[in-house]
Structure 1
C-alpha cells in the first residue's frame, strides 16, 4: 500500500476577479509532497508560484479543486503551516526576542508556562544563529539577520510545513549563500517539510529534493517536476563540479529557456 502524501494539491484552479474581468492564474495543478521533503517552485514572473504557495498556506481559497495537509483540507491559515516572506515583516518597536515570542505565545500560550514560552523563543533564535542579538530591534540589525529572525519566528511555532516565498531574494549574494547553507543545516536538524518559491536556479538545485517547474501564465500549470539526485548533507563548493549538480542545473535552465522561447515565438 503506497504512503499517502503529506501535502496534496488536487486539480486546483485559481481565477481572480479584476477590473478587466476574470484572470486565470492557475489551471489543473496536481502536486504531492511527502513528509520531510524539500520542494521548490520555480518559473518566470507571473507563473503563479506565489499564488500556489498562498493556496497551501490557506491565505487564498481555490476557485476549484482541493488542497490537503496531513489528510485535512486546507481552508484557512493555521499554525501547522508557517510562512516566511521575502519581507521579514518584523514589528519595528519589538526586539528580535519579542517578535518571536509573540508568535510562540499565539500557538502555545494557552498550555505552557511563561518560562517555557521564553525558552522556546530563545532556542529558535539560537538555532538560526541570532542568540547574540536577540534583544536588538530590527533597525539595529542587517537584512540577513532580519531574515534569520523571520525564520526563527516560523520555526518556533513548530510547524508541520515551512512555506517560504523567496526569503533570500532581496539579499546580497554572499548573505544569500550563507543563509542557504544555514537553512540546509536547520532543515536537516528539524526534518521540516518545506515548500519554497525561488527565481534562483542554483538555489533550487542546492536545496531541493524536487524542483517543480511552472509553465508561463496566465493559466499556468506544472510543466515538469525534476528530482534532484544529490545526497545530503550538501556542500556548495563540493557540488560545483559534481556531474549530477551540473545536470540538474542544466535541466532546469533548459526548461525555463525553452518555455520562455515558446511564449516569445507564439507572441
Structure 2
C-alpha cells in the first residue's frame, strides 16, 4: 500500500478577538491507500480541524498536506466529506440529492444515462433503492445519513472524510450503519479518515486510531494499530480478549488526558 495522504509538520492558528489561538501543532501523519483511520480525543482537541485541513476547507498555517504527492489547496472531488448533519437539500428526493453531486463531478464528460446509473449504483450500495423517490423529510435519520454516504461515494473519492457521521443517531441505528459502513469500505476499498468520540466505534472500524492530546496546541499523542482480522463481527468481538485490550488502551489514553490540557507552546 502506498500513501494517499501525507501531513508534515502541520499546524493551525486561528485569529480570535482575544488574540491568536493555536488549535494544532506539529501534526505528522501518513494515511495509506485503503486504510481506515479514526481520530479520537477530548472535545476541543482539534479533530474536526484536522479533518477540515485534509478536506481543504481550511488552509494550514504551518506545514504541508499532500494527497497523492500533490499539495492540498482547497476542496476537490477526490475528497468527499460526510458530516454529522446529513446536509441534504430538503426539496430534492434521495435520488436527486445524490445525482446533484454526480452531475457536478462527472457531468462534463458523461451522458445523462451514465450519470443516472452512477446515482442508482450509489443508492444500491447503501441499500436505499426503495427510498430513491422520497424527500429527506419522509425518511428516518439513519436513512438520511445513508443518503449522505451514498452522495459522497458516488463521487468516487480517493479519500472519504467522515466527521462523527453517526453521532446524532440512536444506538441501534448507529450499530447498523457501522456494520453497513464496514461492508461498503470492503467493497469500494475506500481510504477513510473519520472523527469520532466513540471508543468502541473506533476500535471496530479502524486499521489505526490516531489519539489526539488536549488543546490548545493539540497534537498526535499516540497511534494505535488495530490488528483485528477482517471482516469483523461485533458480537464475536464482544468476547474477544484482543478487542478488549485495544479498547482499554484507548480508554487509558483518554483518561490520562482528562482535565490535563496541553499547554500552548
In the superposition, the TM-score normalised over structure 1's length comes to 0.97
Counterpart for residue 91 of structure 1: 89
Counterpart for residue 105 of structure 1: 103
Matched, 1:149 2:147: yes
Gaps of 5+ in 1: none
In the superposition, the TM-score normalised over structure 2's length comes to 0.97
C-alpha distance in 2, partners of 1:260/1:239? 27
Counterpart for residue 220 of structure 2: 222
Counterpart for residue 54 of structure 1: 52
C-alpha distance in 1, partners of 2:223/2:191? 17
What's the CA shift for 1:5?
A: 2.1
C-alpha distance in 2, partners of 1:161/1:254? 30
| 8 Å Cα contact 2:216/2:261 also seen in 1 | no
Match of 2:175 among 174, 177, 183: 177
C-alpha distance in 1, partners of 2:230/2:97? 32
Superimposed CA distance per residue, residues 227-259 of structure 1 (whole angstroms, 9 cap, x where no aligned partner): 001000001000011111001100000000011
What's the CA shift for 1:196?
A: 0.1
Gaps of 5+ in 2: none
Counterpart for residue 162 of structure 2: 164
What's the CA shift for 1:4?
A: 4.9
Matched, 1:126 2:124: yes
- Give the CA RMSD over aligned residues: 1.0
3-state SS of paired residue (1:146): helix
3-state SS of paired residue (1:226): strand
Superimposed CA distance per residue, residues 118-177 of structure 1 (whole angstroms, 9 cap, x where no aligned partner): 010011001001100011000000000000000000000000000000000000000000
What's the CA shift for 1:261?
A: 4.8
C-alpha distance in 1, partners of 2:215/2:46? 7
C-alpha distance in 2, partners of 1:180/1:263? 31
Matched, 1:34 2:47: no
